Structure 1
Amino acid sequence: MNPPSPSALVPRPSACPGLLRIVPARDGGLCRVKLPGGRLTAVQARAVALASERWASGVLELTNRANLQLRGVRPEGAAALVAALQAAGLGPSDPAADDVRNLLLSPAAGRDPQQLRDVRPLAAELLALLEGDRRLHGLSPKFALQLDGGEALARLDHAHDVWLSARAEGYVLGLAGIPLDAPVGLIVPGQEVATVTRLLHRFLDLAGPEQSRMRQLLAQRPVAELLAGLDLLPVPRSPRAAAATELRLGSHLQLQPGHCWIGAQPALGRLPATSLAAVADLAEHHGNGDLHLTPWQGLLLPDVPTDKAQALLTALTTLDLTTDPAAPLARLIACTGSQGCAKGQADTKDNALRLAERLPADLEVHLSGCPRSCALAGQAPHTLLAVAPGRYDLFVRDTTQPGPGRRRATQLSLDEAAAWLARSPSDA
């Protein structure tokens, strides 16, 4: 029997790519694989690499939600590619659930020495809820949850529709924001899944067609109406501490004695399929055979014996992966750009490579081909927004402004942008 075509399994119309919905892009079809907790086994990684080489461009993208994208999928190979990825265990248990498997946690969950709780068991329960409760399949493909265990390595600047954050007393609940925001209450310990279930059903009860995201609903209805029927306790006084994102690259000691995790990042989030297969081999040889994708478009290899750390770092560097958080390319984010996206106004990937060595130390810059800013959630400290090939408007972070922030200069060439960014922060 021939495998079903991706279009035959699409649960509903959407512009968002998925495993079962390959959407067209300038460089071919785009297939997005959502990973549970960002986890990919070595066997699955090799299956992805082989599928990309056989039926796509051989280029993979790591996303800011710790997922994978296969680019350049050829129409005649789409069904075979989907079938191969499903056979590797990368699909949902219910095809209609593919869109809603949006749960972000720290790539170091269960291993971070600073964590307050190991969130992995609760994450598995929440993912089972999203897949198993068919009414929740009506949530928007962009509707997302975050589960924060208090880890030192955590993405805390990426807003989610619903977030749970660990405290000494249990998990606090937040809406349409980040774990550094004020929560709406403390969940009764042991009632986390039941509370999230009631909350998501209540959201679907109240939300209209134009309110697919939590922030849209809360702009129209009071939060008390959404929380009606939820048994929440007063918020504890202890706030969430800031995270240390430099832990995403290099070698760092785990909670488990004698072991560390190793973080690495491909240039601008793009990884050749051959490199992914090689990293899978390294994960088996030096670690536990798992790869964890990170929301910084990188990879984390856990459970590496400390005496093997240096050899693994050297091997990853040989594959052109960055392991130094101070490296120029570690501070740059660029969307697909005009080479792969019809909306892109400039070749952002190439421009970012040309800009990298000219940036001041510790300066974070996002190059976006259009105002959608697909490669970055929220605002970057500095954003170059393409307005024409090789031309950018410069923005600086200003949370009182919509979009990328406050515009400081227009129509800059790369040379002019580099000169602006080389100035002191007070000037830029």
Structure 2
Amino acid sequence: MWRFLFAGLPLNERPSSLVVRPSGCPGLLRVVQALDGGICRIKLDGGFIQADQAEAVASVAERFAGGMIEATNRANLQIRGIGPGHDALIEPLLAAGLGPRKPAGDDVRNLMLSPAAGIDRQMLFDTRPLAAQILVTLQTHERFHELSAKFAVQLDGGEALAMLEHHHDLWLSALLCNGEPWLAFGLAGTPLDTPVGRVPLAQGHALVVAVLELFLDLARPDQNRMRHLLADVSVDEFMARLARRVPLQACLDWQRDASSDGLHLGVHPQHDDRVYVGAAAPLGRLDAVMLRGAAQLAREKGDASLRFSPWQSLLLPNVCRADADQVLARLEGLGLLGSNDQPLAQLIACTGSSGCGKALADTKADARQLAELLQRRGQTLKVHLSGCPRSCAAAHVAPATLLAVAPGRYDLYFRDATLPGFGALQAHNLTIEALGHWLDARPRSPLDA
């Protein structure tokens, strides 16, 4: 959506401010080393990317990383496995308009939307204009560059296709009061939580600015997330201070409807007479051929844009109904997953020991083994395979988690809202085959998709 100010300048002629602050998180301007090479994270505005931009990512990935691309659970893209001499990788991405408005604003472009923003049949209003305003402010308001690279905001328009389980430092969710658009909001949680207040839609930008400035006023240097601050400052105190900066109203008896499961895959109607078509990257991984093919398909059959989702999938919006089946078939022909009936489409796996020094197992390979086992059994299960307790691949607790304890061996947990972490331990030191035997003894379990 927005062009990078220095995109036309060679790297050696850009301002010294291109040196971004130290962080363990990769960014567009900061390649972070992992076991399998460097990682460059490309933050997409609301998950949206134009076809020509996607082709630029594919070309850069081929040239510098063997074509390895990841779709993240924050609807961004990563180029992974980058070799030495990666400085030249950044220039084509900036030239394609994938950089921030200001160099120091790269880390803070953390605003999640529904991948169906503006086209969802259930949306209460189009969140894209407000999102554009917020993203510009995040990048250009110098004080906001002090925020952690993990500090995140969610803007929910009431869409049926919405990730409502990822925790955000500030969330805003659409509601109607007497036919007028408002935003309920909450701190350090999700739109499924009880909101702490509401403001008219026209005050949404002012609210975001006020919350973030107040957070920076109150937080110590070691408190880089809203939940850290609220451990010291009560919500009531925070809200009392916030009310002095922006008019607030109570939000009584409002509850966000749950989103509809599975709408990120397959063909689904938009609010107009067109459809969007969704397909998932297997275990979050694409190659350059997949991404380039999807971009070309979006140009031929859609509006020349793609939308990435927090389910590590992509959407082609604004497709004619008559073309929908062909579009889905071509996406599947590229190696993407177009149906929830495919076991691999229900599995999440982190990078694993093939690319991460902290992982205790090769989770990607083990996930594929699990998918093959489930395919033979005619099952689809919702399982997250994590190589270590950090849970990098899942921003929320999955119904079931296999936590690696050794190569090829996992502890099995079921989600339990009353317990911290992954939930309740069900079995210890399972191989993938042993998990199949464990399931045979339990015809139904929380793993069932």
Q: In 1, are the aligned partners of 2:279 and 2:338 still within 8 Å (CA)?
A: yes
Q: In 2, are the aligned partners of 1:351 and 1:414 still within 8 Å (CA)?
A: yes
Q: Secondary structure at the match of 2:202?
A: coil
Q: In 1, are the aligned partners of 2:414 and 2:446 still within 8 Å (CA)?
A: no
Q: In 2, are the aligned partners of 1:119 and 1:147 still within 8 Å (CA)?
A: yes
Q: Does 1:62 align with 2:74?
A: no
Inter-partner Cα distance in structure 2 for 1:255 and 1:425: 37
Aligned residue pair count = 426
Structure 2 gaps of 5+ residues are: 1-8
Q: Secondary structure at the match of 1:71?
A: strand
Match for residue 265 of structure 2 among 240, 246, 249? 249
Q: Which residue of 2 aligns with 1:307?
A: 322
Consecutive aligned runs of 4 or more in structure 1 exceeding 3 Å deviation: 4-8, 359-362, 424-428
Match for residue 331 of structure 1 among 338, 342, 346? 346
Tell me the alpha carbon deviations over residues 48-98 of structure 1, each in whole angstroms, 9 at most, x when there is no partner.
Answer: 00001111121100000000000011121x111111100100000100000
Q: Cα offset for 1:419?
A: 2.5
Q: Does 1:124 align with 2:132?
A: yes
Supply the AA of the counterpart residue of 1:25.
A
Match for residue 351 of structure 1 among 366, 369, 377? 366
Tell me the alpha carbon deviations over residues 90-145 of structure 1, each in whole angstroms, 9 at most, x when there is no partner.
Answer: 00010000000000010001000011111010110110110111101101100000
Match for residue 403 of structure 1 among 403, 421, 428? 421
Q: Does 1:215 align with 2:233?
A: no
Supply the AA of the counterpart residue of 1:351.
D
Q: Which residue of 2 aligns with 1:320?
A: 335
Cα distance change of structure 1 residues 340 and 427 upon mapping to structure 2, 3 Å threshold: closer
Q: Which residue of 1 aligns with 2:251?
A: 235
Supply the AA of the counterpart residue of 1:397.
R
Q: Which residue of 1 aligns with 2:3?
A: none
Q: Secondary structure at the match of 2:57?
A: helix
Tell me the alpha carbon deviations over residues 160-200 of structure 1, each in whole angstroms, 9 at most, x when there is no partner.
Answer: 01000000131011111110100000113411111111111
Q: Which residue of 1 aligns with 2:412?
A: 394
Inter-partner Cα distance in structure 2 for 1:182 and 1:164: 12
Supply the AA of the counterpart residue of 2:370.
L
Q: Which residue of 2 aligns with 1:113?
A: 121
Q: Cα offset for 1:417?
A: 1.8
Q: Which residue of 1 aligns with 2:6?
A: none
Q: Which residue of 2 aligns with 1:178?
A: 190
Tell me the alpha carbon deviations over residues 27-68 of structure 1, each in whole angstroms, 9 at most, x when there is no partner.
Answer: 100000000010011000000000011111211000000000
Q: In 1, are the aligned partners of 2:164 and 2:191 still within 8 Å (CA)?
A: yes
Q: Does 1:79 align with 2:87?
A: yes
Supply the AA of the counterpart residue of 2:336.
L
Cα distance change of structure 1 residues 79 and 309 upon mapping to structure 2, 3 Å threshold: same
Inter-partner Cα distance in structure 2 for 1:427 and 1:371: 20
Q: Which residue of 2 aligns with 1:272?
A: 287
Percent identity, aligned pairs only, is: 53
Q: Cα offset for 1:361?
A: 3.5
Inter-partner Cα distance in structure 1 for 2:369 and 2:435: 12
Q: Cα offset for 1:152?
A: 0.3
Inter-partner Cα distance in structure 2 for 1:421 and 1:271: 30
More displaced stretch, 118-127 vs 410-419: 410-419
Q: In 2, are the aligned partners of 1:199 and 1:226 still within 8 Å (CA)?
A: no
Q: Does 1:190 align with 2:202?
A: yes
Q: Which residue of 2 aligns with 1:412?
A: 430
Q: In 1, are the aligned partners of 2:290 and 2:336 still within 8 Å (CA)?
A: no
Query: What TM-score does the superposition give when structure 2 sets the normalisation length?
Result: 0.92
Q: In 1, are the aligned partners of 2:399 and 2:446 still within 8 Å (CA)?
A: no
Cα distance change of structure 1 residues 417 and 137 upon mapping to structure 2, 3 Å threshold: same
Inter-partner Cα distance in structure 2 for 1:189 and 1:273: 40
Supply the AA of the counterpart residue of 2:101.
S
